[in-house]
Amino acid sequence: MDKENSNEYSKYIFLLFLVLILTAAFLIVRPFISMLLTSLVIVYIFYPIFNRINSKIKNKDISAFITSILAILIIVIPLIFAANSIIVESIHFFRGFDSLEFNKVSNVISTYLNLDNEEVKVYIKDLVNKGVSFIIEIISDILIGIPEKVVGLFILLFSLFYFFRDGKELVINTKRLVPLGDKEKDKLFDRIKSITNSMIYGILVTAIIEAVLAIIAFYIFDVGSPVLWGLVVFILAVLPAVSASLVWIPAVIIKLITGDMVNGIGLFLYGVIIIGSVEFLLKPRIIGNKARIHPILVLVGAFGGLKVVGLIGIIIGPIVLGIMVTVLDFYRLNK
């Protein structure tokens, strides 16, 4: 065997070995992909805080530790308590179906549509039962499972620290692996950064803000199960072509139908002025025109990501599809 053939043979052996080792690595980390992706999103959100802390302390280990603790206190712990509230509120929500308020709403719907009142009640109960069951399933798998899955929680905490500390080096090393010229690499990574910013800051953060504002409104204006409906607001705020108004406007209508005019009008004004300002003013300003992801990618990515990696997939899915389209565009332009 001549030297040229030997080198070619060695390349194929190396590629086979690389595929096998990458497959083995994926199978090993697969049980914890959700935790690792959650950690990456948290690090991305809090990285500016890490930079600010590190500029004052000048020690990456201490800065990463402090930022990790802050992130846990601000995000993870409230999520655990929110999960418990959602489960409790879901139980109360089911029990409230026979309440006077629910009967008034079903009477109005059956009268307006000329339908049998009992059939309307059964239909609404079945519809809400499926929706709430879906929400409980998500929460049970993702949030309630966090304190029970000690290993997963440990990996989340551990990866937070090291992603904060070594995040910049990881990006630099990843950039070196991309087989493009320096200018093309910069353009590609700038585009990826724009997509990630638009999803995490423009969609995720604004969806969290909308959900928190909605929960506050539901408490103030006496809407039942405020945290549960706040989660629904969050999910709807992430998806394209839908909005938080799909939750608070029906709540306003129910309040008005049942004669609670003060809370109904108050919730309407709050929704239009406060929640609407986040949805229609803040979100478009953060996302911008250059970083927009096609609505189909957001929709398919959100539901696909939710199915594959859980709740964090609502954000990770569209980012992955957006990056895929960007990489394909660069391949098409540079082949």
Q: What is the DSSP string of 279-305?
A: IIIIHHHHHTTTT---HHHHHHHHHHH
**What is the pLDDT at residue 177?**
77
3-state secondary structure of 17: helix
Question: What is the pTM assigned to this prediction?
Answer: 0.70
Counted domains in the chain: 2
Residue 18 inside a domain? The answer is no
Of 47-56, 183-192, 288-297, highest mean pLDDT: 47-56
Residue 15 inside a domain? The answer is no
Residues 145 and 207 in one domain: no
Residue 223 inside a domain? The answer is yes
Residue 24 inside a domain? The answer is no
Residues 276 and 147 in one domain: no
Residues 64 and 140 in one domain: yes
Residues 194 and 246 in one domain: yes
Residue 92 reports pLDDT greater than 80: no
Residues 111 and 202 in one domain: no
| Domain end among 177, 195, 221 | 177
Q: CB under 8 Å, gap of 24 or more: what pairs does 227-236 form?
A: 227/82, 227/85, 227/86, 227/89, 228/85, 228/86, 228/89, 228/90, 228/93, 228/132, 228/135, 231/82, 231/86, 231/135, 231/139, 232/131, 232/135, 233/207, 234/207, 234/208, 234/210, 235/314
Residue 300 inside a domain? The answer is yes
Tens-place pLDDT, residues 236-264? 887 766 777 888 888 888 888 777 888 88
Residues 213 and 253 in one domain: yes
Residues 152 and 243 in one domain: no
Residue 22 inside a domain? The answer is no
Residue 65 reports pLDDT greater than 60: yes
- 165-177 average pLDDT score: 84
Handedness of CA 208, 277, 270, 133 (dihedral sign): negative
Residues 148 and 215 in one domain: no
Residue 139 reports pLDDT greater than 80: no
DSSP label at 294? Answer: -
Residue 118 reports pLDDT greater than 60: no
Q: Are 92 and 141 in contact (CB under 8 A)?
A: no
Residue 26 inside a domain? The answer is no
Residues 64 and 141 in one domain: yes
Residue 23 inside a domain? The answer is no
Q: Are 67 and 46 in contact (CB under 8 A)?
A: yes
**What is the pLDDT at residue 136?**
58
Task: Give the residue carrying structure tokens 């001549």.
Answer: 2
Q: How far apart are CA 164 and CA 44, in angstroms?
A: 9
| Domain end among 177, 200, 221 | 177
Residues 167 and 220 in one domain: no
Residues 6 or more apart from 315 whose CB is under 8 A from it?
41, 199, 200, 203, 204, 238, 302, 305
25: confidence class by pLDDT, cuts 50, 70, 90: confident
Residue 182 reports pLDDT greater than 80: no
- 15-37 average pLDDT score: 81
Residues 197 and 300 in one domain: yes
Residue 169 reports pLDDT greater than 70: yes
Residues 189 and 124 in one domain: no
168: containing domain: 32-177
Of 3-7, 27-31, 145-149, highest mean pLDDT: 27-31
What b/e sequence results for 282-311 when a residue is b if at least 16 CB atoms lie within 10 Å of its CB, and e otherwise? ebeebbeeebebeeebbbebbebbbeebbb
| Domain end among 143, 177, 211 | 177
Task: Give the residue carrying structure tokens 């339908």.
Answer: 115
